[in-house]
Amino acid sequence: MPEALQLIADANWIELAFAVFIFDIPRYSLSLLSLCLLGLARRSRQSDAPIGVSISVIIPAFNGGSGLLSSLESLRRQTLPPHEVIVVDDGSTDDTRAIVEQARAAGLVDMVICHGTRCGRSAAINAAARFASGELLLTMDADTHFQPAALARLALAFRDPRVAGASCNIAISNEGSSIWTRLQSIEYLMSISAGRTILDIVGAIACLSGACSMYRRDVFVRHGGLDVGPGEDLEFSLRLRRLGYLVRFVPEAWAETAGPVGGLSLLRQRARWDRDALRIRLIMYAELGLFHRFERLPDTLQRLDFILFDLIPTLIFPFYIVYLVVLLGADAFWFIAAIYFLLAWISFFNLALAVALFGRSPSPANLGAVLIFPLYQGSYLRCARLVSYSSEIIFAASKHDDFVPPRVRRALFSGRI
């Protein structure tokens, strides 16, 4: 290891700069340090005071019966109870329908909408929005659970009449299930809790999470609701920004959702997210350009965040590795090992800051997962993202995404929707 550290000491600034740029854990260090400096300002926004606004909750459920009752119970415990809860059974083939009817009989659900065949998440939410009567719409997954003050804190963001949408902080509910869920728990703390809090401060939030987001109902309905294609949460968030509305992230409002337990299921989830992000940003909204005429500074910042810290590092990743091998030969392995050693220490530093800022106490197993977090974040997910971006650029793979029902997908990409 001393020899490896000496390689870093002898490296030129280009090698080190690209190492920091591609293995992006130091990016979260900057976010967390900035939040430490702005901590008092962030805490001053916290409030559990009730707000006089009605909330309609919409839960689309496709074979989501297993976690639905506990999610509904978390809504009942809210300090700002929802005005109504609407569940859409989107062509489920399990016991979702029976569980929903049981919940309605118990007073946990006010309205049930049943689709005979699966229509997709967007269609389910859009259908329920037409029947909703609340001033705000909360869309959530069937396995999302909220802390008691979450809805009240989300609703506070809408005191600003310019705000059309807001999303909450997310933690992994099943973090103890596997090493993959522990790594996701650390990742969410860095990328969502810390990363989106900083982006919110500068007005650069790009995506309202599909797991739990709140919208003004009149704005949601007036502008057509969610797009039926894949990546609907990102597309609608960018649409709201283009229309001149503000979208917010509320770090004090906490929700929990289950993460993929296995490595392959995690890869499938991230491949879908990455392909959809590339298609929507680069094709639908043409965000590749560094500057767009007439756009506001926050819009430029949210685009540059994606281009500079996500797209470019991913695409140049293999070329950087080849560059190191050509330049350093056999020493390339030790150079990367030394970088990894430093990144592991940075990960512990980041986790300590995140725990202090957000009050999420890590388990001993999570502390152990920090040791391999640089490999997970900087290599595993980076390589997976590279494959996803390449498949989207070459084959337009998102057109075959099974997250959207096949008949809807065929109609969408044939131009009949």
What are the tokens at 6? 């000496």
Cβ 252 vs Cβ 150: under 8 Å: no
Residues pairing with 138 in the sheet: 57, 214
DSSP 8-state class, residue 308:
I
Residues pairing with 55 in the sheet: 136
Burial of 181 (0-12, 13-18, 19+ CB in 10 A): buried
Instruction: Compute the 3-state secondary structure of the chain and give helix, strand, coil in percent, each to the nearest 5.
Output: 60, 15, 30
Q: What is the mean pLDDT of residues 315-328?
A: 88
Residues 57-74: pLDDT tens digits? 999 999 988 889 999 999
Q: What is the mean pLDDT of residues 172-199?
A: 94
SS3 (DSSP) at 34: helix
pLDDT over 80 (residue 44): no
What are the tokens at 383? 């390589």
Specify the pLDDT at position 364: 82
Q: What is the mean pLDDT of residues 93-113?
A: 94
CA distances for 247 relative to 236, 266, 355, angstroms: 10, 27, 26
pLDDT over 70 (residue 1): no
> Under 8 Å CB-to-CB from 221, ≥6 apart: which residues?
129, 130
Averaged confidence pLDDT in the chain:
89
Q: Which domains does the chain have, with CATH numbers?
A: 2-37+305-406 (no CATH), 56-142 (3.90.550.10)
Cβ 10 vs Cβ 328: under 8 Å: no
DSSP 8-state class, residue 279:
I
Specify the pLDDT at position 40: 43
Q: What is the mean pLDDT of residues 189-210?
A: 93
CA–CA separation, 390 vs 399, rounded Å?
A: 14
Residues 114-148: pLDDT tens digits? 999 999 999 999 999 999 999 999 999 999 999 99
Specify the pLDDT at position 219: 98
CA–CA separation, 84 vs 136, rounded Å?
A: 11
Q: Are strands 145-146 and 84-90 parallel, antiparallel or unpaired?
A: unpaired
Residues 254-280: pLDDT tens digits? 999 999 999 999 999 999 999 999 999
Query: Taking the model in full, what pTM does it have?
Result: 0.92
pLDDT over 60 (residue 48): no
Residues 226-253: pLDDT tens digits? 998 889 999 999 999 999 999 999 999 9
